[in-house]
Amino acid sequence: MTLDSRTAEQNASEKKSSAWIILLLVALSAAGLGYVFFGRGNKDTGPGPSRAVPVVAAKTERGSLPVILTGLGTVTPTEVVTVKTRVSGHLLNVAFREGQMISEGDLLAEIDPRPYEVQLMQAESQLARNQAAYLNAVRDLERYNSLLDQGVISNQQLDTQQAHTEQLAAALKSDEASIASAKLNLEYCRITAPVSGRLGLRYVDPGNLVNQSDPNGIVVITPLAPIYVLFSIHQGSINSVISKDQSKLVVEAWDMNVETKLASGKLFAIDNQVDPSTGTVRLKALFENRDSSLFPNQFVNVSLFVDSIDNTILIPGAAIQRGPQGTFVYVVNEDSIVELRPIDVLAIQGDRAAISTGLEAGETVVTEGIERLRPGSRVTIPGTEQAQESGGPARGQS
């Protein structure tokens, strides 16, 4: 073997040894990193008993939970009156201001009365003419009766005079009706408010010719007090409403953000059928609305109080969890250790829930940070450590 071939073999052997050493170092490094991240790291960061998990908790309490049905409602006036003229003519005067509150009987507008005054005069003159003719016919009838007794005239002549007298009497009644109609038309020339309420915008200006056939009329009156709210509830809840004394069920109207209560009223009526397209039933509530807090066609959030669960355990709804084992909560004991407690929920209203079994008043349940817990985990509730040092409640209480 030559010197060059020995040198080449020696270099190749050294390269193979270096490669094995590098691979061994890489394997050791990977094993060390795996131990750090998957071994020791788990011991440091796991939510086990050795490390407390910060959570938010609340105490259970005994009280009452109202059962409330909610829905979207529309404020509806008890009646909407479109004021129209009953006679045709020129509008002389508008006696109201748009948007003002008016009372029943207040003057709203006036129509030119002169054509109807002329009609009244004509009807009165016709009545006077027919009255004179009737009186003359009555006297002639008396004479005909005397002449018949004397044998001067026949019975046919007397009957003809009798019929003529009765025709004039009927004409008098017709004339009296014409006079009454003319007087009524004169009254209609003064347009007054048929109901009390708020006036809308004016649809016609003075000087225009108005007719009974005008579709918009002169103005619209909307009563504001009392006022209705129409809303719907799911068909599955209707039995809980029907079974109660409907006149005593309280209804509240809230703004669209459910932040401000606008008014309180009573349930007034329930529709007689379910809307098949939505599966809901319409209800109507009556509000006094003396402060005009509700406005016609306004959208409001409605709360209907149908019942109250009294003397029950109340907890925040956020504490309730559901899993394969059923409904449960995490309860914090005096040693700040959590346990999984099965519970039975009676009802949930908003952010509170009524519990029938599983909890007692004064216990502490976890409301936030539940996803990091398991039975036996140690927890810490922010703020309790400082309270304990100053003589406050023990750790694990809210």
Q: What CATH number did the domain enclosing 168 receive?
A: 1.10.287.470
- 349 in a structural domain: yes
- 27 in a structural domain: no
320-349 residue pLDDT tens = 999 887 899 999 998 899 999 999 998 888
Residues 317 and 298 both lie in one domain? no
User: CATH number of the domain that 104 lies in?
Assistant: 2.40.50.100
Measure the CA–CA gap between 378 and 385, rounded to whole angstroms. 14
- 30 in a structural domain: no
- 370 in a structural domain: yes
107-144 residue pLDDT tens = 999 999 999 999 999 999 999 999 999 999 989 888 88
pTM: 0.64
Domain enclosing residue 164, as ranges? 113-188
Residue 395 confidence (pLDDT): 32
Instruction: Name 251's bridge partners.
Output: 265, 304
- 18 in a structural domain: no
> Of the residues 281, 308, 335, which one is the last residue of a structural domain?
308
Residues 329 and 281 both lie in one domain? no
Residues 127 and 244 both lie in one domain? no
Residues 228 and 296 both lie in one domain? yes
- 281 in a structural domain: yes
Count structural domains, the chain. 4
Which stretches of the chain score pLDDT less than 50? 1-5, 7-8, 35-49, 385-398
Return the amino acid letter for 181: S
Residue 3 confidence (pLDDT): 41
Pair 99, 296: CB distance under 8 Å: no
Left (φ > 0), alpha (ψ -120 to 50) or beta: where does 46 sit? beta
Nearest to 89 by CA among 116, 57, 112, 56: 112
Measure the CA–CA gap between 103 and 108, rounded to whole angstroms. 10
User: CATH number of the domain that 343 lies in?
Assistant: 2.40.420.20
- 265 in a structural domain: yes
- 380 in a structural domain: yes
Left (φ > 0), alpha (ψ -120 to 50) or beta: where does 376 sit? left
